[in-house]
Amino acid sequence: MTVDTLMHLANNSGGVLYVIAAMLFIALTIIIERFWFLHRVAGGGASALDQLDRIEQVDVAALSALAENYRGLPLARIFSTAARLGTTRAREELDACFEEVIMREAPRIDRLLWVLDTIVTLAPLLGLFGTILGMFNAFQVLSNPGNAPTQVTGGVAEALIATASGLFVAMIGLVFFNGLHSRVRSVVHQLETLKAALVNRMTGAAGEHPRDTREMARGSGGSLAHQGA
């Protein structure tokens, strides 16, 4: 199929094929950019959880180093917030602060997916609209004297290309939209896991030792009382 043929088909569709081609370009751009970004976030989250498991003591220096390692990712915002709060906060306060950070980062994670969803819905409708315009042009052939009715068949076939193009764009967009949506859920779950891991380690570093000290003091007091008796 030559360029002249494509231009002829696009013109017969009322320019709808141009719009569908632009929507395909936008959809592919969003798909590539989002898959690359979410792949980086998911890989960084897995690495961060692994590093967090190997850290013997969670302190401000370690959290600041983790925030620097993952700069540019939502993980860095969580680690920088943890470093700012320190290990002297209550569990409820830490949990609320980290939850706020995740909610602020959520729009960045699923950014532009609404555009892809719109393209999936709009492309078939635009294709159908282009087909209707093409069929108008095809049936106008009958109004001209001397034209054979068989010429309508070719015009209808050309008009159906717009519908086929719209369905093609919608199918591609739908497959990748579902894949990206699943990846977004996985990344958000990963951030929630990181939040829980940080809260457990930060409150443990701040609260386990005093509790152990109180238990040791209570045990020593009981032992002394037993000896005095």
Determine the Cα–Cα distance for residues 25 and 151; give it in Å rounded to an integer: 33
Radius of gyration, CA atoms only, the chain: 31
H runs (alpha helix) in the chain: 3-12, 16-54, 60-69, 74-85, 91-109, 113-139, 150-228
pLDDT at residue number 199: 86
pLDDT at residue number 8: 59
Determine the Cα–Cα distance for residues 19 and 16; give it in Å rounded to an integer: 5
pLDDT at residue number 37: 93
Determine the Cα–Cα distance for residues 63 and 40; give it in Å rounded to an integer: 20
pLDDT at residue number 18: 85
Determine the Cα–Cα distance for residues 153 and 11; give it in Å rounded to an integer: 18
Give DSSP secondary structure letters for 108-124.
Answer: HHTTTHHHHHHHHHHHH
Specify the length of the chain in residues: 229
Residue 73, CA distances (Å) to 31, 57, 148, 174, 192 in order: 18, 23, 64, 26, 15
How large is the greatest C-alpha to C-alpha distance in the chain, in angstroms?
Answer: 125
pLDDT at residue number 150: 59
Phi, psi (deg, nearest 5) at residue 56: -75, -40
pLDDT at residue number 4: 58
pLDDT at residue number 29: 95
Determine the Cα–Cα distance for residues 59 and 77; give it in Å rounded to an integer: 16
Place of tokens 């976030």: 41
- Check residue 2 and give left, alpha or beta (phi > 0: left; psi -120 to 50: alpha): beta
pLDDT at residue number 24: 94
Per residue in 122-134, pLDDT (tens digit) is 999 998 888 887 7
Burial track 70-108 (b if 16+ CB lie within 10 A, e otherwise): beebbbbbbbbbbbebebebeeeebbebbeebbeebeee
Place of tokens 């729009």: 107
Determine the Cα–Cα distance for residues 108 and 101; give it in Å rounded to an integer: 12
- Sequential pLDDT tens for the chain (229 residues): 565 565 655 666 567 888 898 999 999 999 999 999 999 999 998 998 888 888 777 788 888 888 888 888 888 898 888 888 876 678 888 888 889 999 998 888 988 899 999 999 999 999 888 888 777 766 666 666 665 555 556 567 677 888 889 999 999 999 999 999 999 999 999 999 998 888 888 887 544 444 443 443 444 444 434 444 4
pLDDT at residue number 220: 42
